[in-house]
Amino acid sequence: MLTTVVGSYPKIPNRPRPPRLRSAIARFERGEIGADELRRVEDQVTVEVIQEQAEAGLDIITDGQIRWEDDQTYFVRRMDGFSIDGLIRYFDTNTYYRQPVVEGPVRWREAVAVGDYEFAAVQSPVPVKALVTGPYTLAALSANHDYGSLRELALALAAELRHEVLALERAGAPIIQVNEPAILQQKEDFPIARQALQVMMEGVRTEAHLYTWFGDIDGLYPQILELPFAAIGLDFVKAPANWDVIARAPFTKKLGLGIIDARNTKLESVEQIVSAVRRACAIIPADMLYVNPSCGLEYLPRETAEAKLRRMVEGVQQAQGVPA
Amino acid sequence: MSGLLTTSVGSFPKPDYLTHARSQFSLKKISRQELAELERRATAEVIRLQEDIGLDILVHGEMERGDMAAYFAEQLTESMAIGGLVRSYGNRYYHKPIITTKLRWQGPMTVEMWRYAQSLTDKPVKGMLTGPYTMVDWSFDEYYGDRVQAVLDMAAVLHEEAVELDKAGARYIQVDEPAASTRLDEMDLVSRGLSVVTQGLKAKTITHICYGDFARAVDQILTLPVDQLDIETANSGYDLLELFRHKRFDKELAMGVVDVHNHRIETLDEVVAGIHRGLEVVPPERLYIDPDCGLKTRTLDEAEAKLRVMVQAVRQVRRELGVD
């Protein structure tokens, strides 16, 4: 049983620690510092959040997505075929992203997150997983002004994002995680997502994970197990229904067990975590479990996120009978 | 016959001296009294500006409020706390409040500032509250673990506040619910909360709700328990007005005719045309004209210019219709 995160980590700490990245971005926007200096601060903050995650005791971490504006913009601004429009609410959160607009044929132009992965891998004492926003979610959250249908757009994005996956594989990422939260909101589109993910992952040998959040997979189970991934990540906080759904058929893959509420500051007790882990172990062997928060941690203040990760590790250790 | 009364949604841009003073106060370099003095000065300026422009129903401008949810959380010291910083988008962060225990009204939160603003003018000044659904949705909940109970308790707190405003003589009480569009399947809860807040008030009650896929919940929105519904319409090219065309709607409607998220000042013709769109679905005696949303996102000059063109357009349409 391993502990990990879903993706994002809060970018700035609270007082008295200085909000270095926020200040640097503001100075960059005012033209007071250049791109190199901003990059240097992003590097420093990335190193800091890598250390925080490792010190919390996680087995596998991410780079915290410190450089990402949001899951969509970070990819589309490095691809051809997109413009970036106004702010739009991200699912039912109070967080906003800029809506991508598909203006022409989409094309992967250059590596998006490969350099970030390489930087993080060198800095981190524990394995780092690489993150890719999935083709279905990217298509569903964009305004499509060019392709004839959502399916056509999702398949085109899959063929292009495949270059990113292959580049991450060449860079040696031990795990490539593809995020597809949007499929839980439009389940009738599952055949589109399946076809797109098959195109994107064909022949990929690296361990690949598919993560979802903010919803349940009722109606997609057990078909979701046919997708070309070694692990499926599910949100059991926003969607406790997932417990019953996965009990309906053997869960034949590894499970990303999202049991720590990454959208509320209330700290889980060790007992709650132990009980959730044991419940999962009744369905899936312990060595097939990744225990993680319910979604990215950016919905929490930095210090709360860190405390929750420490508590999660404590709970998992206790569930495994490791003395504190 | 009178009609087409003009108003605004709530917030005005803060003058530089007040923004500076707020940051000095947060660094403990000036006292609460010194800050309050400047808030009153800025409020007086906002009242004078609205009288000069010729608006019919005024707002106090919310000079004492940083964030519309955090302001109330700061007053409810026994049951709420101000949490750490959470990112909303880009490089923007806000302090997200936390509900720490059972919500309880501790005494008037808005009456003193309303009374001061009203003392400066013969025009009615609206009492301004943030609605219970929005207060809960924009806070972490460490106590209830149940959205319905949290919203109903918050509604009881805000009802006590509304009663105080009513007793003080406010003729209009506005209860803003910008979060209402986040989950249209919870519109019944929004409605239950508002009915608790507005119950038994002598004042005319208003709710302002912001963008969303309103068509999916139109019947519930049109029957929210208030006297006046205030919606943004300019930024959607007035499409939202179509919802009213084939529905029974006997409340008052306040429609936004200038876009608060755009620097460009609308032309007189555009605003006149927008008002005519509104008159197609609601008669002038029940139609109020205002900006789409709070003006705090604009510069003071832009806010003033947008309000002036709005008032000029209303005067032109009133002349055409022979309305006072």
pLDDT-based confidence at residue A27 (cuts at 50, 70, 90): very high
Q: Which residues of A touch B96 (CB under 8 A)?
A: 301
Query: Average pLDDT over chain B, rounded to whole?
Result: 96
Choose the mutation target among A30, A92, A94, A302 for the interface with B, i.e. most B CBs under 10 Å: A94
Does B211 have pLDDT greater than 80?
no
Residues in chain B: 324
Instruction: Write down the residue that tokens 């003071």 correspond to.
Output: B300
> Are the C-beta atoms of residues B168 and B115 closer than 8 Å to each other?
yes
pLDDT-based confidence at residue A161 (cuts at 50, 70, 90): very high
**More confident: A208 or B216:** A208
Q: Do A89 and B182 touch (CB under 8 A)?
A: yes
pLDDT digits (tens, 9 = 90+) for B20-71: 999 999 999 999 999 999 999 999 999 999 999 999 999 999 999 999 999 9
Range of the domain at A146: 2-68+106-319
In angstroms, the Cα distances linking B161 to A155, A212, B40, B170, B206 are 54, 42, 21, 12, 15
pLDDT reported for residue B215: 80
Q: Do A29 and B141 touch (CB under 8 A)?
A: no
User: A222: domain CATH number?
Assistant: 3.20.20.210
Q: Do B86 and A11 touch (CB under 8 A)?
A: no
Specify the 3-state DSSP secondary structure of A88: strand
Q: What is the pTM of this model?
A: 0.94
Laid out side by side, the sheet with B287-290 consists of B5-6, B287-290, B252-256, B228-231, B204-209, B172-176, B127-130
pLDDT-based confidence at residue B257 (cuts at 50, 70, 90): very high
CA distance A20 to A12: 7
Picking from B206, B209, B194, the residue whose alpha carbon sits closest to that of residue B240 is B209
pLDDT reported for residue B2: 81
Domain total of chain A: 1
pLDDT-based confidence at residue B1 (cuts at 50, 70, 90): low
Residue A100 lies in a domain: no
Could you say which residues from 24 to 83 on chain B have a Cβ atom under 8 Å away from some Cβ of chain A?
Answer: 83
Choose the mutation target among B91, B141, B236 for the interface with A, i.e. most A CBs under 10 Å: B91
Does A242 have pLDDT greater than 80?
yes
Residue A76 lies in a domain: no
pLDDT digits (tens, 9 = 90+) for A109-151: 999 999 999 999 999 999 999 999 999 999 999 999 999 999 9
> Are the C-beta atoms of residues A93 and A145 closer than 8 Å to each other?
no
Q: Which residues of A touch B141 (CB under 8 A)?
A: 264, 266
pLDDT reported for residue A323: 60
Q: Which residues of B touch A19 (CB under 8 A)?
A: 85, 93
From the list B83, B88, B137, the residue facing A95 with the nearest CB is B88
CA distance A295 to A214: 8
Q: Do A302 and B183 touch (CB under 8 A)?
A: no
Q: Do A95 and B98 touch (CB under 8 A)?
A: no
pLDDT reported for residue B58: 98
Find the mean pLDDT for residues A232-245.
98
The torsion defined by the Cα of A280, A286, A292 and A294, in degrees rounded to 10, comes to: -20
Does B221 have pLDDT greater than 60?
yes
Tell me the domains of chain B and their CATH numbers. Answer: 5-66+109-133+145-321 (3.20.20.210)
pLDDT reported for residue B213: 76
Picking from B129, B128, B121, B125, the residue whose alpha carbon sits closest to that of residue B169 is B125
Find the mean pLDDT for residues B299-320.
97
In angstroms, the Cα distances linking B248 to A270, B227, B307 are 54, 14, 30
Find the mean pLDDT for residues A219-244.
98
Q: Do A94 and B138 touch (CB under 8 A)?
A: yes
Residue A73 lies in a domain: no
CA distance A257 to A211: 10
Pairs of CB atoms within 8 A across A/B: 62
Q: Which residues of B touch A264 (CB under 8 A)?
A: 140-142
From the list A26, A92, A299, the residue facing B182 with the nearest CB is A92
Does B212 have pLDDT greater than 80?
no
pLDDT reported for residue B216: 83
Residue A92 lies in a domain: no
Instruction: Write down the residue that tokens 């709360």 correspond to.
Output: A304
Q: Do A265 and B98 touch (CB under 8 A)?
A: yes
Q: Which residues of A touch B (CB under 8 A)?
A: 10-12, 14, 19, 22, 25-26, 29, 69-70, 86-87, 89, 92, 94-98, 264-266, 298-304
- Report phi then psi at A302, rounded to 5: -55, -50
pLDDT digits (tens, 9 = 90+) for B97-131: 999 999 999 999 999 999 999 999 999 999 999 99
Residue A48 lies in a domain: yes
Q: Which residues of A touch B83 (CB under 8 A)?
A: 265, 301, 304
The torsion defined by the Cα of B111, B116, B122 and B124, in degrees rounded to 10, comes to: -30
Residue A95 lies in a domain: no
pLDDT reported for residue A321: 87
Find the mean pLDDT for residues A37-47.
98
Q: Do B261 and A298 touch (CB under 8 A)?
A: no
pLDDT-based confidence at residue B217 (cuts at 50, 70, 90): confident
Q: Do A94 and B142 touch (CB under 8 A)?
A: no
Specify the 3-state DSSP secondary structure of B184: helix
pLDDT reported for residue A86: 87
> Are the C-beta atoms of residues B97 and B138 closer than 8 Å to each other?
yes
Strand pairing report for B228-231 and B172-176 = unpaired
Residue A84 lies in a domain: no
pLDDT reported for residue A246: 97
Residues 6+ apart with CB under 8 A from B112: none
DSSP summary character for residue B79: T
Could you say which residues from 140 to 179 on chain B have a Cβ atom under 8 Å away from some Cβ of chain A?
Answer: 140-142, 145, 179
Query: Average pLDDT over chain A, rounded to whole?
Result: 97
Residue A37 lies in a domain: yes
From the list B88, B138, B140, the residue facing A96 with the nearest CB is B88
pLDDT over 90, % of chain A = 98
pLDDT reported for residue B126: 98
